[in-house]
């Protein structure tokens, strides 16, 4: 005897779907989670044959993320494996439009394909919808991020979807920063949603995985074939862990986002910070547009401290709670100066620090971050009395007692 199954998932909120979807049938004594199948091959007599084509743990993950994004999901070994798969859709000599400041790996991959004449790249400013629209003419594929990594610019996804469709191009939206809880690009008209599931989706900085989600089943079949033949597939353990992380996405995003909003607001009045980039701030250039296409502003922000790159780099190494490391979307807060990487585009300011805000106590985060920023003021030897005193700094933090 089996228990009743959940209703049609379309009747549930996305937070519920993240928890309830992708489960095995409710059979008495059966497992509540899909067991990890460590097997490269499967007994003959079924559609499942070999683990480069299909694995049960992918299916549980793909069903859940697909329902959240509103399309068919295909998982990949990493976000960049997803990028590479989607670029296989571009004919030889085709044209790809991309923001001039976006995830450095995507840009570097495109450059390497351009160097071998595989395709031509047009770089445009992500926030200039008209410029992107002009660049769409004759293009085969447009890849955007919104918000962009790490500049936090917002693209007008509805307008771009109209433009790309009119030009017969495909619109790919990298939804890594927003996640399907805050933004659903397919509903806004995008053809493909891309994820680095390494980030918020899995959420614990412990694995690499990627995903593509499409609404059109022919496109799904083409990408499925590309994945089977290029082989950038996720392992069963990663798929299991990514789905386990996805279960708590709503809780993590809510906390991370409220922490980010609070920190962004406080950072705007920190004397060592020249600029804060966060679409949740009412005077951010992307704020109004973000409010029309997102259900929240997310857990990532960028700051440009006033100072030379070396001192800014040094301040990143001075935090005790914030982790000085690359990557984002984990439960732990991290920061880094993006231009420390050679591949980071020169359109990103040397001073820019990307902050990925985790789920720690916001006062602990502020105490640690503002103290590290204060050292910039000290090293600039400002006159006494100009040091910023935060009204919210607490003395109870063990970080300060040390």
Ligand X SMILES: *Cc1c(COP(=O)(O)O)cnc(C)c1O
Contact 144, 157 (CB under 8 A): yes
Contact 366, 348 (CB under 8 A): no
For the chain, report the end-to-end CA distance as a whole number of angstroms.
Answer: 60
Contact 230, 249 (CB under 8 A): no
Tokens 């400041």 sit on residue: 101
d(CA 63, CA 22): 6
- Looking at the Cβ atoms of 103 and 322, the one nearer to ligand X is 103
Residues at the contact surface with ligand X, assessed by CB under 6 A: 78-80, 103, 105-106, 145, 149, 174, 176, 196, 198-199, 208, 210
- Looking at the Cβ atoms of 145 and 374, the one nearer to ligand X is 145
- Give exposure, 367-402, as e/b (b: 16+ Cβ within 10 Å): bbbbbbbbebbeeeeeeeeeeeeeeeeeeebeeeee
d(CA 354, CA 23): 36
Q: How far is the CB of 209 from ligand X (least distance, A)?
A: 7
- Looking at the Cβ atoms of 133 and 328, the one nearer to ligand X is 328
Per DSSP, 101 falls in state S
From the CB of residue 297, how many other CB atoms can be counted at a distance below 10 Å? 26
Q: How far is the CB of 76 from ligand X (least distance, A)?
A: 8
Going from the C-alpha of 372 to that of each of 311, 314, 315, the distances in angstroms are 11, 9, 6
Q: How far is the CB of 210 from ligand X (least distance, A)?
A: 5
- Looking at the Cβ atoms of 75 and 367, the one nearer to ligand X is 75
Q: How far is the CB of 79 from ligand X (least distance, A)?
A: 2
- Looking at the Cβ atoms of 234 and 371, the one nearer to ligand X is 234
- Looking at the Cβ atoms of 103 and 366, the one nearer to ligand X is 103
Tokens 């918000």 sit on residue: 147
Q: How far is the CB of 121 from ligand X (least distance, A)?
A: 16
Q: Is 292 exposed, middle or buried (0-12, 13-18, 19+ CB in 10 A)?
A: exposed
Q: How far is the CB of 205 from ligand X (least distance, A)?
A: 11
- Looking at the Cβ atoms of 67 and 212, the one nearer to ligand X is 212
- Looking at the Cβ atoms of 71 and 99, the one nearer to ligand X is 99
Residue whose Cβ sits closest to ligand X: 79
Structure tokens at 27: 């059979």
């Amino acid at each position: 005897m089996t228990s009743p199954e959940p209703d049609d998932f379309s009747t549930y909120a996305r937070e519920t779907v993240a928890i309830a979807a992708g489960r095995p049938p409710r059979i008495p004594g059966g497992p509540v989670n899909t067991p990890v199948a460590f097997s490269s091959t499967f007994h003959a007599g079924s559609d499942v044959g070999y683990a480069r084509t299909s694995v049960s743990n992918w299916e549980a993950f793909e069903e859940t993320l697909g329902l959240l994004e509103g399309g068919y999901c295909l998982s990949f070994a990493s976000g960049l494996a997803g990028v590479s798969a989607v670029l296989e859709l571009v004919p030889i000599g085709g044209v790809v439009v991309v923001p001039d400041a976006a995830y450095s790996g995507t840009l570097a991959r495109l450059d390497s394909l351009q160097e071998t004449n595989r395709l031509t790249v047009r770089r445009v400013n992500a926030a200039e919808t008209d410029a992107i629209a002009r660049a769409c003419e004759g293009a085969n594929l447009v890849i955007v991020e919104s918000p962009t990594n790490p500049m936090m610019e917002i693209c007008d996804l509805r307008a771009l979807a109209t433009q790309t469709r009119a030009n017969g191009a495909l619109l790919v939206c990298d939804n890594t920063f927003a996640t399907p809880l805050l933004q659903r690009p397919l509903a806004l008209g995008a053809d493909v949603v891309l994820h680095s599931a390494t980030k918020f989706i899995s959420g614990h900085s412990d694995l690499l995985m990627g995903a593509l989600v499409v609404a059109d089943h022919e496109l799904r079949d083409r990408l499925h074939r590309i994945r089977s033949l290029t082989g950038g597939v996720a392992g069963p353990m990663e798929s299991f862990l990514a789905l386990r992380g996805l279960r708590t996405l709503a809780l993590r995003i809510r906390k991370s986002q409220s922490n980010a909003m609070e920190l962004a607001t406080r950072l705007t009045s920190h004397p060592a910070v020249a600029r804060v980039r966060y679409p949740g701030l009412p005077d951010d250039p992307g704020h109004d547009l973000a409010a029309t296409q997102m259900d929240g502003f997310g857990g990532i922000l960028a700051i440009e401290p006033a100072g030379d790159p070396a001192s800014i780099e040094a301040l990143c190494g001075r935090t005790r709670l914030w982790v000085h490391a690359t990557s984002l979307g984990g439960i732990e807060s991290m920061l880094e100066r993006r231009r420390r990487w050679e591949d980071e585009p020169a359109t990103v300011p040397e001073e820019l620090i990307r902050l990925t805000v985790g789920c720690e106590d916001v006062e602990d985060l502020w105490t640690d971050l503002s103290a590290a920023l204060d050292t910039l003021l000290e090293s600039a030897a400002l006159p006494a009395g100009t040091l910023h005193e935060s009204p919210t700094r607490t003395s109870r933090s063990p970080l300060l007692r040390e």
